[in-house]
Amino acid sequence: MSVRTLPLLFLNLGGEMLYILDQRLRAQNIPGDKARKDEWTEVDRKRVLNDIVSTMFNRKFMEELFKPQELYSKKALRTVYDRLAHASIMRLNQASMDKLYDLMTMAFKYQVLLCPRPKDVLLVTFNHLDAIKGLIQDSPTILHQVDETFRQLMEVYCGLSAGEFQLIRQTLLIFFQDLHIRVSIFLKDKVQNSNGRFVLPVSGPVPWGTEVPGLIRMFNHKGEEVKKIKFKHGGNYVTATKEGSFELYGDRVLKLGTNMYSLNRPVDTQTSGASKNSTSRAQQENIAPNPLAKEELNFLARLMGGMEIKNPSGPEPGFRLNLFTTDEEEEQAALTKPEELDNKVINIQAMQDQQRSEELARILGELEVTDQPRWSTSKGDDLLAMMDEL
């Protein structure tokens, strides 16, 4: 499949993650002077977002990302987001991280599925980047990093043909295949059915470059139009009014990829029978021995080596963020998680490979921290544990 898909996947999922974290942090916002030591303030929120965005758009990291490569497994990608979410003083426990990832994935799946043209996935990406720039307005250095990535996206993707975009779209949709987690904001807006499937509307504007269906034109051998017949298409489409902009700044026209969360519309997932499909598929991936675990491990090590993690300076504790409405809910969610989702430790040959283990050890060494976050494990162990979970 297409080897140009990873940057789009990563940036859009990252964008959704930021929308969700921003919304949750605002929801738990306490005015600065009234806050206790362990409560979130506006200053904390901005700091967390700055830290995550700056890690995400780190130059070395982006270089690795943009190299032509196949999409790796869902588990490998999930590990990257685990890492990214902990790039600041914020801490998420397993249940909250699971929920965050479910929301991110379903949101981007929805956006890809509903893109009118395959090329519009680039507009979705630009929508995410525009919004990210809005979140970190106060930091010119990070803004510059984001703009650099914007330019790189334009350079790589704006010249691609419709056929190449169709291949990218197919690669993305295959990645999201058979995921049917129900998201309450989607259910409320009626864009998702109770069986977890998205609603595909048959009305509204047609994609830019497509005609409204319903017309048959017939020509003679000289090329002159001789007959025009209408037929009943079944949908209720209208002409597209204008094309979205692919420039650094501009009206994207498309709403997909913009922030759909707000204080009044809390994020929420329901895990239900519908999600069993995804867990059984994940289980299939778990069971089959993966001879490419080494390659994925290598990729992760390179990516994470490129991720400069800002270590919290001074004796600040890590702040825990709960994606659920109460702590009890979060605990409950952790308990009711199906057995199969618990990450099993799989023995990986990688450690027997002298060169690999030296490389990993070097990277781990660079990531060691001196102060303790709220969790008792150190960051080094954290990374290793995540590696083991592949």
Partner 1 sequence: MKLSLSPFLLPSTLYTANISSKAQAAQQHTVKSVARFLSLSVPAPRACSAQSMRVHWCVLPFRVLLVLTSHRGIQMFESDGSIMVYWHALDTGDAPPVQAVFARGIAASGHFICVGTWSGRVLVFDIPAKGPNIMLSEELAGHQTSITDIATEPVQGGDCMADVVTADDSGLLCVWRSGPEFTLVTRIPGFGVPCPSVKLWQGIVAAGYGNGQVRLYEAMKGTLHVQISAHARTICALDLAPEVGKLLSAAEDTFVHIWKLSRSPESGSIEVEHCHGECVSNTQLCGARFCDPSGSSFAVTGYDLAEILRFSSV
Contact positions with partner 1 (CB under 8 A) in 103-122: 113, 116, 118
The answer to the question of residue 224 lying near partner 1 (CB under 8 A) is: no
The answer to the question of residue 250 lying near partner 1 (CB under 8 A) is: no
How far is the C-alpha of 22 from the C-alpha of 135, rounded, in Å?
8
Q: Candidates 241, 249, 288, 315: give the one binding partner 1 (CB under 8 A).
A: 288
User: Which residue stretch of 89-97, 169-177, 314-322, 351-359 sits at the interface with partner 1 (rule: CB under 8 A)?
Assistant: 169-177
Q: Candidates 30, 43, 174, 369: give the one binding partner 1 (CB under 8 A).
A: 174
The answer to the question of residue 155 lying near partner 1 (CB under 8 A) is: no
Q: Candidates 138, 190, 200, 242: give the one binding partner 1 (CB under 8 A).
A: 200
How far is the C-alpha of 121 from the C-alpha of 115, rounded, in Å?
6
The answer to the question of residue 202 lying near partner 1 (CB under 8 A) is: yes
Of 234 and 365, which has the nearer Cβ to partner 1? 234
**The residue to which tokens 């929801």 are assigned:** 27
Give the CA distances from residue 327 to residues 25, 44, 103, 190, 363, in Å, rounded to whole numbers and listed in that order: 15, 20, 19, 29, 35
Q: Candidates 197, 344, 362, 374: give the one binding partner 1 (CB under 8 A).
A: 197
Q: Candidates 35, 212, 334, 341: give the one binding partner 1 (CB under 8 A).
A: 212
Of 174 and 369, which has the nearer Cβ to partner 1? 174
With 0-12 CB in 10 A as exposed, 13-18 as middle and 19+ as buried, what is 387? buried
Of 144 and 151, which has the nearer Cβ to partner 1? 151
Nearest to 309 by CA among 60, 136, 98: 60
The answer to the question of residue 159 lying near partner 1 (CB under 8 A) is: no
User: Which residue stretch of 2-10, 49-57, 307-315, 322-330 sits at the interface with partner 1 (rule: CB under 8 A)?
Assistant: 2-10
The answer to the question of residue 297 lying near partner 1 (CB under 8 A) is: no
Nearest to 332 by CA among 131, 18, 98: 98
Report in angstroms how near the CB of residue 236 gets to partner 1 at its nearest. 10
Of 118 and 373, which has the nearer Cβ to partner 1? 118
The answer to the question of residue 335 lying near partner 1 (CB under 8 A) is: no
The answer to the question of residue 343 lying near partner 1 (CB under 8 A) is: no
The answer to the question of residue 190 lying near partner 1 (CB under 8 A) is: no
Of 194 and 377, which has the nearer Cβ to partner 1? 194
Q: Candidates 63, 70, 247, 342: give the one binding partner 1 (CB under 8 A).
A: 70
Q: Candidates 43, 144, 158, 209: give the one binding partner 1 (CB under 8 A).
A: 209
Q: Cβ(383)–Cβ(304) under 8 Å? A: yes
For the record, the structure tokens of 55 come out as 């890690």
Of 214 and 250, which has the nearer Cβ to partner 1? 214
Of 72 and 126, which has the nearer Cβ to partner 1? 72
The answer to the question of residue 237 lying near partner 1 (CB under 8 A) is: yes
Give the CA distances from residue 306 to residues 37, 59, 84, 152, 382, in Å, rounded to whole numbers and listed in that order: 33, 8, 12, 17, 17
Q: Cβ(52)–Cβ(81) under 8 Å? A: no
Of 25 and 122, which has the nearer Cβ to partner 1? 122
- Residues forming contacts to partner 1 in the complex (CB under 8 A) are 1-4, 68, 70-71, 73, 113, 116, 118, 161-164, 166-167, 170-171, 173-174, 177-178, 180, 193, 197-200, 202, 206-207, 209-221, 223, 226, 229, 231-235, 237, 281, 285, 288-292
